């Protein structure tokens, strides 16, 4: 995969897709800067990476992507010497009908899912140009398709997809690639963080058998494997792509 010795930032690395992605990069021999807000959870991710490969350097940065973007990039480069890959994975979701939601929700979601990605991209770009590195953004099927009752999240991910394409064109002359993955429903904590009870979550996962063509939800590792692919030289002629990792959900249309 040509990732040995590369320096990778993974945001939101203390759980779910981010934690699985950090482990897969470690397995490939990459040096990983893990970014998260919770020290205990980040430590667990660090241990998981070291268990996967005890020879690679793992660097935990306790930071909030909405306020610490410049520091995240600076500390990574200071500590690990360069930057080859930025994985913008940290994200939040929330539901609500337009008749009920507050502007606070819209601002909060866009601040994390879009504005923080803009900031990290801006500060990382000069370093990625030096290494001819790349960026992988973690978007969603909600960026490609529309769903009722979750407009702030869908809008943030659709904007992230467009940002991915625009920055791919900005950075292409510098040989820096920019891509996104668009997962369908993946088993992580995100749905319970949105307020689903255990019962609601179990029913949701059952319903997902019908909403995903392959008849099941996905696992974090299935997304992580695609992120690693897009970050590696195996995808050297791919830029500006939004890759669905969703068991065919994006291709479906109820009738
Ligand atoms: P998760 O909730 O386990 O992971 C999100 C991580 O981002 C958490 O560790 C959280 O603490 C971190 N984070 C949130 N705001 C942050 C901030 N301001 N600063 C630093 N870290 C912050 O959920 P999951 O599923 O692993 O989510 C990862 C990404 O995947 C998100 O961008 C999400 O939108 C996307 N996604 C997830 C899907 C799913 O079904 N699980 C489906 C499609 C996309």
Spell out the domain ranges in the chain: 7-183+218-244
Q: What is the mean pLDDT of residues 156-180?
A: 99
Nearest CA to ligand 1 atom 2: 190
Inform me whether the pLDDT recorded for 12 exceeds 80.
Answer: yes
Nearest CA to ligand 1 atom 34: 91
Q: Which residues pair with 88 in a beta bridge?
A: 137
C-alpha to C-alpha distance for 185 and 227, rounded to whole angstroms:
16
C-alpha to C-alpha distance for 84 and 232, rounded to whole angstroms:
10
Q: Looking at the annotation, which residues are catalytic?
A: 153
C-alpha to C-alpha distance for 253 and 35, rounded to whole angstroms:
37
Longest dimension (CA), the chain: 55
Give, for 204, the enclosing helix (H) or strand (E). Answer: helix 198-211
Is the beta carbon of 26 within 6 A of some atom in ligand 1? no
Q: What is the mean pLDDT of residues 166-172?
A: 99
Centre of ligand 1 from the C-alpha of residue 189, in Å: 8
- What is the CATH code of the structural domain delimited by 7-183+218-244? 3.40.50.720
Q: What percent of the chain has pLDDT over 90?
A: 98
C-alpha to C-alpha distance for 53 and 47, rounded to whole angstroms:
10
Q: What is the mean pLDDT of residues 164-187?
A: 98
Instruction: Report pLDDT for 26.
Output: 98
Q: What is the mean pLDDT of residues 195-210?
A: 96
Centre of ligand 1 from the C-alpha of residue 178, in Å: 19
Inform me whether the pLDDT recorded for 254 exceeds 90.
Answer: no
Nearest CA to ligand 1 atom 36: 140
pLDDT tens column, 13-44: 999 999 999 999 999 999 999 999 999 999 99
| Average pLDDT, rounded, for the chain | 98
Q: What contacts 54, CB < 8 A, 6 or more positions away?
A: none
pLDDT tens column, 74-117: 999 999 999 999 999 999 999 999 999 999 999 999 999 999 99
Q: What's the pLDDT band for 255 if we cut at 50, 70, 90?
A: confident
Is the beta carbon of 158 within 6 A of some atom in ligand 1? no
Query: For helices 16-27 and 220-231, what crossing angle results, to 10°?
Result: 50
pLDDT tens column, 38-75: 999 999 999 999 999 999 999 999 999 999 999 999 99
Between strands 7-11 and 134-138, the pairing is unpaired
C-alpha to C-alpha distances, 45 to 81, 92, 123, 130, nearest whole angstrom: 22, 19, 25, 28
Inform me whether the pLDDT recorded for 132 exceeds 90.
Answer: yes
Is the beta carbon of 94 within 6 A of some atom in ligand 1? no
């Amino acid at each position: 995969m040509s990732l040995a010795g590369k320096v990778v930032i993974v945001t939101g690395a203390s759980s779910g897709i981010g934690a699985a992605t950090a482990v897969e990069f470690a397995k490939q021999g990459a040096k990983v800067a893990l970014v998260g807000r919770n020290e205990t959870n980040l430590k667990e991710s660090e241990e998981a990476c070291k268990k996967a490969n005890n020879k690679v350097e793992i660097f935990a940065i306790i930071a909030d992507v909405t306020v610490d973007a410049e520091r995240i990039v600076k500390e990574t480069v200071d500590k690990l010497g360069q930057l080859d890959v930025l994985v913008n994975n940290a994200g939040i979701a929330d539901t609500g009908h337009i008749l009920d939601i507050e502007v606070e929700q819209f601002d909060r979601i866009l601040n994390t899912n879009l504005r923080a990605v803009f900031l990290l991209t801006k500060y990382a770009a000069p370093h990625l140009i030096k290494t001819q590195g790349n960026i992988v953004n973690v978007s969603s099927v909600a960026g490609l398709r529309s769903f009722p009752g979750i407009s702030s999240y869908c809008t943030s991910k659709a904007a992230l997809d467009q940002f991915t394409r625009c920055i791919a064109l900005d950075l292409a002359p510098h040989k820096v690639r920019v891509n996104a993955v668009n997962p369908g429903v993946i088993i992580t904590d995100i749905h319970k963080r949105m307020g689903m009870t255990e019962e609601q979550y179990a029913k949701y996962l059952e319903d997902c058998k019908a909403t995903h063509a392959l008849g099941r939800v996905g696992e974090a590792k299935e997304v992580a494997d695609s992120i690693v692919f897009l970050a590696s030289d195996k995808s050297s002629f791919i830029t500006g792509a939004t890759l669905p990792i969703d068991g065919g959900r994006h291709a479906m249309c109820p009738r």
